[in-house]
A and B are shown apart, each in its own frame.
Chain A
Amino acid sequence: MNVNYFYSLLAVVGLGSVAYVGAGVAGLQGVFGIFIPYLAVVIFISGFINRVMGWARSPVPFRIPTTCGQQKSLDWIQQNKIDNPSTLFGVIIRMFLEIVLFRSLFKNTRTEIVGDKIAYKWVVWLWLFAILFHYSFLAVVVRHLRFFLEPVPFFVTFLEQIDGILQVGLPGVFLSGITLLAGAVLLLLRRILIPKINYISIAADYFPLLLIIGIALTGLMMRYFTKVDVVKVKELTMGLATFHMGIPEGGLSGLFFVHLFFVCILAAYIPFSKLMHMGGVFLSPTRNLANNGRMKRHINPWNPEVKFHTYDEYEDDFREKMIEAGLPVEKE
């Protein structure tokens, strides 16, 4: 077994046990239900801002967009305005499509040798699993707002209706929960089963996937199998959202605290990990800069100020000596 995913799995199982034993058996529900969630929110928000400000301080002196099409040139050469934007508008379109549709993943290719020739094949799977995973995650997060908002606003109930459109069973199956688990499992299998990707994967790649699989599994367990008292859960979460903290009477099940603890770990882990692509995608200089290097002069802002000694000044300094030595001068 590969050490990288073994340790990640071990970490997730270990964290889950900590919460299960801590809140479920030892009865530290105040710690796992109030203190840790607040701590996680503080770490997430401050860590996120700190990380982005770090990027904001990093100089990006020149234009370094990846150009995926014809750049702006002569009038009769058609420019690819999205993949090689030269205006702010083009950049906005490019960024929007990147963030919403993951276009750069869509261009994923695999290099293979076919016969005696090298071939680049278009491979859609990464994009497909990624878009399944990310949109499911978004839907799940928005749906969970029902635990944090009172009254529950229209967009949450609307999403619940769409998500539960199949009306299977009671409580009705929410598609996004299942597709989230499927997406995360598929992304994990991709890393495990494809040898080249396995070779470049490290523990920090497996850990978030396994953690999210843990979140999805515990969530699905609570909704469909072992059950929790949802009203009590909301009592706890509303207490957190309104700063009237308290553990509801009788407490909640260990599984609920495993779920909550996993989410806290994930939130606190985001600013220090690859998951920071959440903010980073907005700040990738290879995507968000217009390719206008030939139209505008971009001066490196930290260029040192160079003291020039022009020829005129030079002649002023040495004119007499130059004349003495018989050198030609411009001004007599």
Chain B
Amino acid sequence: MNDKPKIIIGLIIFFAVFTFPFWYNHGTASSAPEPKLTDKAEQAKHCVRDVDFMRKEHMQLLDGWRDRTVRDSQRVYEIDGKEYMASLSNTCMECHSNKADFCDKCHEYASVDPYCWDCHKYPKEKK
């Protein structure tokens, strides 16, 4: 009995499956997206927290804001002696009004599908 042909077909399938990322991307590297800042955001210079924190943990910050606002009706976020209105639509979007270039680009790149916009409205973008 000689099963070598069958086994080799199996190995070819194995090879194709486990090298999937190499041939799916055709070797073309699209550079990682960089969130675009609006003029207003650039002028403000600093966000609620520093850039590194916002990049890594903005989702938890927003989650905390939502829970405190909805459950305890605490609408104020205090940090470093400054007070901010804990609101995605009013505080975040005031500077970062460019959802497509600021939020969506990276979310799409990282395959993240936040459900912010199930409830929140986002401002219409000027083109």
Using a CB–CB cutoff of 8 Å, the interface residues on chain A facing chain B are: 44-45, 48-49, 52-53, 55-56, 60-61, 145-146, 148-153, 156-157, 160-161, 167, 169-171, 227-232, 234-235, 238-239, 241-244, 248, 279, 282-283, 298, 301
Contact = CB atoms under 8 A, between A and B. Distances in A.
Interface string B31-44: 11100000000000
Nearest to A245: B29
A45 B15 contact: yes
Nearest to B1: A60
B59 A238 contact: no
B76 interface: no
Interface of B: 1-4, 7-8, 10-11, 14-15, 18-22, 24-33, 52, 55-57, 59-60, 62-63, 106, 108-115
A170 B59 contact: yes
B49 to A, nearest CB: 13
Looking at chain A's contact residues, is the secondary structure mostly helix, strand, loop, or mixed?
Answer: helix
4 closest A-B pairs by beta carbon, nearest first, are: A148-B21, A170-B63, A244-B29, A146-B111
A301 B8 CA distance: 20
Nearest to B34: A231
B15 A145 contact: no
Contact of B14 (A56, A244, A279, A298): A279
A156 B26 CA distance: 19
B109 A149 contact: no
Contact of A49 (B15, B22, B31, B57): B15
Contacts of A61: 1
A208 B53 CA distance: 35
Contacts of B14: 48-49, 52, 279
Contact of A52 (B1, B7, B25, B109): B7
B4 A56 contact: yes
Contacts of A157: 111, 113
Given A160-B113, A283-B7, A301 B15 contact: no
Contacts of B113: 157, 160-161
A218 to B, nearest CB: 16
B110 to A, nearest CB: 5
A116 B110 CA distance: 63
Contact of B62 (A52, A170, A283): A170
A238 B28 CA distance: 9
B56 A229 contact: yes
B7 A239 contact: no
A301 B112 contact: no
Contacts of A243: 22, 27
